Amino acid sequence: MMWKLCKVLILIVSFGVGKVTAADKYIRRDFPPEFVFGAGTSAYQGEGAAKEDGRTPSIFDAFSHSGVTRGANGDVACDQYHKYKEDVQLMAEMGLEAYRFSISWSRLIPNGRGSINPKGLQYYNNLINELISHGIQPHVTLHHSDFPQALEDKYGGWISRRMVLDFEAYADVCFREFGDRVRHWTTFNEANVFAQMGYDYGFLPPQRCSSLPGLYNCQKGNSSTEPYLVAHNILLAHASAARLYGKKYRNKQNGYIGFNLLAFHFRPWTNKTEDIVATQRANDFYLGWFADPLMFGDYPDTMKKNAGSRLPSFNGAESSLINGSADFLAINFYSAIKVKDNPGSLDIHPRDYKGDIAVQLDFSLNNFTEFEFPVIPWALEGVLEYFKQKYGNPPMYIHESGQRMKRNSTLEDWPRVQCMQGYIGVVLDSLRNGSDVRGYFVWSFLDVFELLDGYEAGFGLYYVDLDDPSRRRYRKRSARWYSAFLRGGAVSPASASLIGLMGGPENASSSASSPDHRLIQ
Ligand SMILES: *[C@@H]1O[C@H](CO)[C@@H](O)[C@H](O)[C@H]1NC(C)=O
Ligand SMILES: *[C@@H]1O[C@H](CO)[C@@H](O)[C@H](O)[C@H]1NC(C)=O
Ligand SMILES: *[C@@H]1O[C@H](CO)[C@@H](O)[C@H](O)[C@H]1NC(C)=O
Ligand SMILES: *[C@@H]1O[C@H](CO)[C@@H](O)[C@H](O)[C@H]1NC(C)=O
Ligand SMILES: *[C@@H]1O[C@H](CO)[C@@H](O)[C@H](O)[C@H]1NC(C)=O
Ligand SMILES: *[C@@H]1O[C@H](CO)[C@@H](O)[C@H](O)[C@H]1NC(C)=O
Ligand SMILES: CC(=O)N[C@H]1CO[C@H](CO)[C@@H](O)[C@@H]1O
């Protein structure tokens, strides 16, 4: 979950009274057995041990230590680096089928390229082995916004084509060392957010943008060109890693290489043609930017038209390298946006990139401070349907879905239960309507370090006590609900039946305490 501030300032999300379409009563067995249910974290947000055992800083460390994340950072975070065994135990007790995590590039290869850090290698081997021995599938992301600061310093990171080769070399190490046990790889997490927020608005690492007096003051960058360049290099890096996998590993390892985007459900503000066209433009700029090259071999025409020569082009060889290079597309999904045409935005918006989109997004929800997101199952259904129709029904994963709540509030996180209940139900509807969706991961397994929210908001199934040096974990209601579902219980929206269900088997583990409200304000 990496896009908070962008919501506040730019994308403010809309919600309306949506029809409740989600299947409202279902069980695990309604899904195919090969469909996978999991939960996730990412390296910087969960591991901690930021300065231990040879890890060097990533761009994320520099960012969080600059004070923008409410003074918080991931130096210790949930300390999963030291507590992975306990965490895998909790996953196993919950009945989790898969765990989504990312590898810290700068822990594995501290200089970005070259020698491998044996301690880093050992950590990921240990974690993967622990998961496998508990029957939990590892779903691994290679780049979750945290590439080595050394490469940013050396040549500017993703604005340079040199990253393509360095990323490929890093991917090679991961496939070679872990690919005998890991079958689900995702090259990039939220590549669209990374390019937009890191290089256009400059809110997120590596905080590059064109400086505007009184607004955003990036030290470096060019908002009109760099987002496109970065996205282009990311696509080439993904495709190069996928080609490498195909050549060297696929026969032996039988795995899959996917790509992840943050997806919103865009819908027109009115039925006026210009709003409908603007909605398609928003989809093209937000999703098509990456999904079109991956699925069709080229950028959307709207992007070429609006961005002109600032949008790099693929030559024939690059196009065929990228075309079809993703075995699956994965989305992180949280919300919906209403789109209004805004022809004037080409003139008035400070950012050229934003001007290219020329849409005005709905500003109706100003209540971000309330923490919780509206739950809008039909919007997730709409996104899955969009991918199905536009991209010929590719295999899809929902890599993130979850509810933001004030971190210290309560272990009785019923809003999160309602969120999972609704979204899992609509995934079932989508499956039944032909969507090739293959997995659903809750964000997040633990209350991790959240970008920009720091530790003030949490999405976790488990609360982590930051005041306790041992970072003790506490199971929330949502973890119990998920567990009951994964173990075969029927779930329905009526909280009475949920409570009934919750009365079922849930042996307290040695490591996770049973809930005690007094421990949390
Ligand atoms: C960004 O790059 C473009 C193309 O090179 C150039 O015309 C423009 O002046 C640059 N903008 C800034 C703010 O440096
Ligand atoms: C657009 O038209 C459809 C079908 O007539 C209608 O259901 C929908 O409410 C309209 N949307 C808006 C935003 O007016
Ligand atoms: C991408 O691959 C598809 C399917 O093989 C093909 O139809 C399409 O023409 C390719 N795109 C380009 C730009 O070559
Ligand atoms: C179900 O799939 C069909 C065919 O793709 C589509 O027309 C329809 O809108 C889908 N239903 C929903 C609720 O998305
Ligand atoms: C959470 O609660 C603990 C224990 O009362 C307190 O020390 C800590 O500052 C709180 N954290 C936040 C982010 O509110
Ligand atoms: C709970 O513990 C009992 C007794 O140790 C055991 O028989 C049962 O299988 C456990 N239930 C679960 C869900 O682990
Ligand atoms: C800015 C804004 O819209 N604030 C609203 C947030 O929600 C509370 C309660 O629902 C309202 O009272 C505020 O006006």
Element (H, E) at 286: none
Q: Is residue 514 part of a domain?
A: no
Question: Pocket residues for ligand 3 (CB within 6 Å)?
Answer: 296-298, 319, 323-324
Give the model's pLDDT for residue 453.
Answer: 84
Q: 434: Cβ below 6 Å to ligand 4?
A: yes
Q: Is residue 516 part of a domain?
A: no
**Mean pLDDT computed over 459-478:** 96
Whether 332 is in the pocket of ligand 1, judged by its Cβ within 6 Å, is no
The answer to the question of residue 519 being in a domain is no
Question: Is 193 contained in some domain?
Answer: yes
- Cβ(465) – ligand 5 distance below 6 Å: no
φ, ψ at 357 (rounded to 5°): -75, -40
Q: Which residues, 6+ apart, have CB-to-CB distance to 198 below 8 Å?
A: 145, 204, 205, 206, 207, 208, 230
d(CA 146, CA 41): 13
CA 350, CA 153: separation in Å to the nearest integer? Answer: 27
pLDDT, residue 186, reads 99
Question: Is 507's C-beta closer than 6 angstroms to any atom of ligand 6?
Answer: yes
Q: 22: CA distance to ligand 4 center in Å?
A: 14
- Ligand 4 atom at minimum distance from 381 CA: 14
Question: Quick one: pLDDT at residue 493?
Answer: 54
Q: What is the pLDDT of residue 368?
A: 52
Q: Considering only 157-166, 215-224, 232-241, 430-439, which range has the smallest mean pLDDT?
A: 215-224
More confident position, 272 or 493: 272
Specify if 253 maps to a domain. yes
Residue 423 maps to a domain = yes
For residue 34, tell me if it sits in a domain. Answer: yes
Q: Which amino acid is at 195?
A: A
Asked if 323 and 296 touch (Cβ cutoff 8 Å), the reply is yes
Number of domains in the chain: 1
**Does the C-beta of 223 come closer than 6 Å to ligand 1?**
no
Q: To 10 degrees, what angle do helices 477-486 and 495-502 make?
A: 80
Other Cβ atoms closer than 10 A to 505? 8
Q: Which DSSP letter does residue 9 get?
A: I
* 269 contact partners, CB below 8 Å, separation of at least 6: 275, 338, 339, 340, 341, 362
- What would the pLDDT profile of 60-78 be if each residue is shown by its tens digit? 999 999 877 778 999 999 9
Peptide bond into 206 cis (omega under 30): yes
Q: Cα separation of 514 and 475, whole Å?
A: 7
Ligand 2 in reach of 273 Cβ (< 6 A):
no
Per-residue pLDDT, 129: 98
Rounded to the nearest angstrom, the distance between the alpha carbon of 381 and the centre of ligand 4 is 9
Distance 297 CA to ligand 3 centre (A): 6
pLDDT in tens, 259-316: 999 999 999 989 999 999 989 988 999 999 999 999 999 999 999 988 889 999 999 9
Backbone angles phi, psi at 341, to 5 degrees: -65, 140
Residue nearest to atom 6 of ligand 2 (CA): 271
Work out the pLDDT band at 320, boundaries 50, 70, 90.
very high
CA of 235 to the centre of ligand 3 (A): 16
| 444 prior amide bond cis, ω within 30 | yes
Q: Count Cβ atoms within 10 A of the Cβ of residue 371 and give its class: 0-12 exposed, 13-18 middle, 19 or more buried.
A: middle
Quick one: tokens of 146? 């945290």
Burial 150-161 (b: 16+ CB within 10 A, else e): bbbeeebbbbbe
Choose which residue among 70, 447, 466, 474 to substitute to test ligand 5 binding: the one with the highest number of ligand atoms within 8 A of its C-beta: 466
- Residue tagged 């401070």 (tokens): 369
Give the residue whose CA is nearest to atom 11 of ligand 1: 222
17 occurs within a structural domain: yes
Rg, the chain, Cα only: 22
469 lines ligand 6 (CB under 6 A): no
| Per-residue pLDDT at 66 | 87
Q: Which residues touch 326 (CB under 8 Å, ≥6 apart)?
A: 238, 242, 257, 258, 259, 294, 295, 394
Pocket probe mutation, ligand 6, options 507, 510, 514, max atoms within 8 Å of Cβ: 507
Q: What is the pLDDT of residue 452?
A: 74
Average pLDDT over every residue of 441-460: 93
Looking at the predicted structure, is the pLDDT value of residue 491 above 80?
Answer: no
Mutation pick for ligand 7 pocket among 7, 367, 371 (CB with most ligand atoms within 8 Å): 367
- CATH number of the domain residue 354 falls in: 3.20.20.80
Domain coverage including residue 74: 2-498
Among protein residues, the one whose CA lies closest to atom 5 of ligand 2 = 271
The two counts, helices (H) then strands (E), for the chain are: 21, 13
Any idea which residues carry the catalytic annotation?
190, 400
pLDDT given at position 208: 92
Ligand 7: does its nearest atom lie under 6 Å from the Cβ of 364?
Answer: no
Question: Does 408 contact ligand 5 (Cβ within 6 A)?
Answer: yes
Find, among 413, 436, 437, the residue nearest to 423 by Cα: 437
pLDDT digits (tens, 9 = 90+) for 96-119: 999 999 999 999 999 999 999 999
Pick the atom of ligand 1 nearest to 224's CA.
1
Burial class for 313, CB neighbours closer than 10 Å (0-12, 13-18, 19+): exposed
Helix (H, G, I), strand (E, B) or coil at 24: coil
Gap from CA of 35 to ligand 7 centroid (Å):
39
Residue 210: CB within 6 Å of ligand 1?
A: yes
